[in-house]
Amino acid sequence: MSISHIEHIGIAVENLEEAIQYYEKVLGLSCYAIEEVADQKVKTAFFKVGQTKIELLESTDPEGPIGKFIAKKGQGIHHLAFAVDNVADALAGAEQNGVVLIDKSPRKGAEGLNIGFLHPKSTFGVLTEFCGEK
Ligand code: ZN
């Protein structure tokens, strides 16, 4: 497996507009994209911090993954995404090492990238995503 950098950090928020205000007004970052990912029942907002992005996630459905996460744990860091050259290979490599996968094969995430998640029970409590063009 070859990880080049942290692609993004996903942060669950209750109110996307209010969170965007904080990132823009207080931290001085600028939101360059807002995208709804119907599949994940979320609306996302993206900021660049160097090579890494911040992905804010607001749930569009209380039964969706972010809705459930906030109900259980409150707002906060939701997942860590690593940039890999090949998502399918990275998932297969993790599985060979005994990691429980949420996604057996890559699917399309925000920004048209291929993504796949590892189960937090196999990753010391951190929901982990692989993210890449392939
Ligand atoms: Zn993500």
CATH number of 3-132: 3.10.180.10
Distance 26 CA to ligand 1 centre (A): 23
- Helix, strand or coil, per DSSP, at residue 71: helix
Distance 98 CA to ligand 1 centre (A): 22
- For strand 107-108 and strand 3-13, is the pairing parallel, antiparallel, or unpaired? unpaired
Distance 122 CA to ligand 1 centre (A): 18
Predicted confidence at residue 128, as pLDDT, reads 98
CB-side neighbour CA atoms (13 Å) of 8: 22
Distance 85 CA to ligand 1 centre (A): 16
Distance 121 CA to ligand 1 centre (A): 18
pLDDT digit string, tens, across residues 62-101: 999 999 999 999 999 999 999 999 999 999 999 999 999 9
Indicate the domain borders of the chain.
3-132
- How many CB atoms sit inside 10 A of residue 26's CB? 8
pTM: 0.92
Distance CA 119, CA 126 (A): 8
